[in-house]
Amino acid sequence: MSVKAINETGKLALYEIENKAGMRLQVTAYGARIHKILTKDKNGNTIDVVAGFETPEGFLGDNPYFNAVIGRVANRIGNAEFTLNGKKYTLFKNDGNNSLHGGKEGFDRKIWQAEPMGDDAVKMTYFSPDGEEGYPGNLTTTVTYKLTDENEVSIAYEAISDQDTICSLTNHAYFNLNGDFSTVLDHEVFIDSDKITTIDGSLIPHGDFTPIKGTAYDFSVPKKIGKDIKTNDFMLNIARGYDFNYVLNNDFIHPVATAYSSGSGVKMSVFTDRPCMQLYTGNFLDGLKGKKTYGYQSAFCMETQGYPNACNVPSFPSIELKKGERYSARTSYKFTVE
């Protein structure tokens, strides 16, 4: 195991962690983003399974949250407002009438303080002042990326605030397990879930659930992403593909989700302590050029998260973070070859 600094300073500080199998994880300070995940395919060739740019400078330009930490609140907040302790808070509307992924300048656009931890991890810290993006409380967040010898990229999130606030973090990595970013429709996906949160025409959940067994949304038996994605259905049509919050049946031992590409033989297994996961199949990608060209449905995201819009839906488990309490969340992505 080793951690080396490729660039130690500034907003584009870049660290690489390498394990004994030769798998490498590169992370950069800007948005606490994953720059590269270099793993071996079934032929022993090294492939990069995340989207992005040749150099971390690329992240500074326009891109849809490529591999960034999302905060303070992942996913959408309806009407870009919420009420906490009787007080109404107004957020920036960056997605129609709603707030998406932290607002105008979320955690993906912040410069994190990066430091190596031991020989297998890099810790990123960001201090978000009271009122930033409309959220209450001075919030200090740390995200620790670790690579294990079992080819597991593990992400540990911690946060603490000096006032009651709301907090729900994720990572927005875009994967293609072929590494070629042509399409993900050939990837086989499993998600241990029986229901998704029902969304309205602007992708906001309001408290209802859609049972999914046997429907186009169902991944409880592994199937190719492309199998049912073209089904003519209200939610699939408005999202232009999969962009749904799966409520996880999580036993905290088995993966909550897997994705597999027979082309490369690479399988990714997702473990988390979060209650939900967004499966997003890159439906808004439209040809952005980076390491590869990222067209429609050329990448997928498995964003572990709290319930979207929970701050406006009392029946959803709360994402409130009380003053002085510690927010703690874990997710890992494990890579194997089959």
187, amino acid identity:
H
Q: Shortest Cβ distance from residue 203 to ligand BGC (Å)?
A: 6
Q: Which is nearer to ligand BGC, 48 or 243 (CB)?
A: 243
Q: Which is nearer to ligand BGC, 269 or 309 (CB)?
A: 309
**Candidate residues 178, 248, 303, 306; the one interacting with ligand BGC per rule CB under 6 A:** 303
Residue number, nearest CB to ligand BGC: 64
The rounded radius of gyration (Å) of the Cα atoms in the chain is 19
Binding residues for ligand BGC, rule CB under 6 A, total 9
- Of the candidates 303, 320, 325, 338, the residue annotated as catalytic is 303
Q: Rounded to an integer, what distance in angstroms lies between the CA atom of residue 50 and that of residue 180?
A: 10
- Near ligand BGC in 191-230, by CB under 6 A: 203
Q: Is residue 127 within the footprint of ligand BGC (CB under 6 A)?
A: no
Contacts with 102 (C-beta within 8 Å, 6 or more apart), sequence order: 70, 71, 72, 73, 74, 108, 133
Quickly list H helices, 221-284.
Answer: 234-239
Q: Rounded to an integer, what distance in angstroms lies between the CA atom of residue 184 and that of residue 113?
A: 34
- Of the candidates 35, 172, 187, 188, the residue annotated as catalytic is 172
Q: Is residue 303 annotated as a catalytic residue, yes or no? A: yes
Q: Rounded to an integer, what distance in angstroms lies between the CA atom of residue 16 and that of residue 122?
A: 9
Q: Which stretch binds ligand BGC (CB under 6 A): 138-146, 230-238, 276-284, 327-335?
A: 276-284
Residue pair 225/189 in contact (Cβ under 8 Å)? The answer is yes
C-alpha distance from residue 94 to each of 113, 171, 270, 289, 308 (Å): 26, 19, 29, 23, 16
Q: Is residue 187 annotated as a catalytic residue, yes or no? A: no
**Candidate residues 31, 52, 56, 64; the one interacting with ligand BGC per rule CB under 6 A:** 64
**Candidate residues 15, 59, 181, 280; the one interacting with ligand BGC per rule CB under 6 A:** 280
Q: Which residues bind ligand BGC (CB under 6 A)?
A: 64-65, 203, 243, 278, 280, 284, 301, 303
* Residues that are catalytic: 172, 303
